[in-house]
């Protein structure tokens, strides 16, 4: 499930499905569709800059996606016998909206003509949610898809224990995946 667009009101009222949204966008674009996973990290910004410089052409469409947990603990009710978490389900967080707005502004400033933002409401793994999003685009008829994402460059042990979103996507996504590493300084 994902929310689409950058308007706060639009995000609160509208949860779209990829078929409705992206089939129309695909009809007007003759180029490729580049899906860029974004968040607030420096690695994500690096992947964005690299994508604009090395991949994106004027007739391509850029889809910016941000994965946000679907269920979040917002509070805990505690008594002497037990504690019960209170979840918010399916609400787009303010920080997710801000990330989408920031990248939309970056696209406008860079002169990107055809871009859209989606906030994916993931329930579990960000990697699985991103792969499901890519699959939904393919099922909707979007062709010539490429997923681009930054790398946190986790070490062996962190990758083994907490996992790597980019590694998951490389192994499970049916479209080409480009993982952009940070430049050595």
Band of pLDDT at residue 113, cut at 50, 70 and 90: very high
pTM, 2 dp: 0.73
Report pLDDT for 165. Answer: 87
61 burial class (0-12, 13-18, 19+ CB within 10 angstroms)?
Answer: buried
Mean pLDDT to the nearest integer, 76-88: 53
Mean pLDDT to the nearest integer, 73-96: 60
Report pLDDT for 166. Answer: 87
- Report the CATH fold assignment for 2-180: Rossmann fold (3.40.50)
17 token code pair: 């499905």
∠ at Cα 118 (112, 124), nearest 5°? 140
10 or 117: which leads in pLDDT: 117
Residue with token string 């078929």: 19
Summarised one tens digit per residue, pLDDT across range 22-68 is 433 444 557 899 999 999 999 999 999 999 999 999 999 999 999 88
- Give the distance, in angstroms, between the CA of residue 36 and the centroid of all CA atoms in the same chain: 6
153 or 177: which leads in pLDDT: 177
Say how far apart CA 104 and CA 85 lie, in whole Å. 34
Report pLDDT for 18. Answer: 35
Rg (CA), the chain: 17
Mean pLDDT to the nearest integer, 121-137: 88
SS3 69: strand
DSSP 146-185: EEEEE-----HHHHHHH--HHHHHHHH-SS-EEEEPPPP-
Report pLDDT for 13. Answer: 28
Say how far apart CA 185 and CA 183 lie, in whole Å. 6
């Amino acid at each position: 499930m994902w929310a689409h667009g950058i308007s706060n009101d639009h995000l609160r009222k509208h949860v779209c499905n990829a078929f409705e949204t992206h089939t129309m966008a695909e009809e007007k674009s003759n180029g490729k569709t580049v899906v860029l996973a974004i968040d607030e990290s420096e690695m994500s910004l690096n992947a964005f800059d690299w994508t604009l410089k090395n991949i994106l052409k004027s007739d391509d469409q850029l889809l910016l996606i941000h994965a946000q947990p679907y269920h979040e603990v917002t509070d805990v009710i505690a008594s002497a016998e037990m504690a019960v978490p209170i979840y918010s389900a399916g609400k787009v967080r303010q920080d997710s909206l801000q990330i989408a707005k920031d990248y939309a502004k970056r696209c406008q400033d860079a002169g990107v003509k055809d871009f859209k933002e989606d906030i994916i409401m993931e329930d579990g793994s960000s990697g699985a949610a991103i792969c499901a999003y890519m699959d939904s685009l393919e099922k909707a008829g979007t062709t010539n898809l490429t997923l681009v994402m930054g790398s946190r460059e986790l070490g062996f042990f962190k990758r083994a224990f907490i996992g790597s979103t980019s590694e998951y996507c490389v192994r499970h996504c049916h479209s080409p995946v480009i993982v952009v590493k940070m430049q050595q300084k």
